[in-house]
Amino acid sequence: MQILDREITLEELRSIAETGFGEMVKAVVDVDLEIVAIDAELHSDLEAYCLERQSQQASLWGINYYPEIEGEDFIEYDSMINIRPTQKNNSREVEDESIRKKIVDITNRWIKR
């Protein structure tokens, strides 16, 4: 597990995918601190890792990166940690378009595609 502290390339993300799930890298994005945690078996592990490092629960969203896919499908907004009725997110998907946009903006800052 790691919180990105420098921009990484798509090739680096591919390498992480190959050592994990093959085609995908799990990630958690903190939309307030604008950080990305990657490289764990479960989103909940990344979530706990971020919480230990000053993130707030309401700011954390689980996603998956697919380094071999270009365009919008590079990010999948699906994780069990996203089920939050108190934040009006009732499914595994990140439903709020403004949060999705923040995730894309933060991703583009940390991952060079």
* Three-state SS at 8: strand
CA–CA dist 73, 101 (Å, integer): 14
Structure confidence at residue 27 (pLDDT): 98
Work out how many domains the chain is built from and give that number.
1
Is-contact 28 61, C-beta < 8 A?
Answer: yes
Mean pLDDT for back-to-back runs of 10 residues, the chain (113 residues): 96 94 95 97 98 97 97 97 96 98 98 93
Helix (H) or strand (E) holding 61: strand 60-65
Structure confidence at residue 21 (pLDDT): 84
Which range marks the domain in which residue 59 is found?
2-112
**pTM score:** 0.95
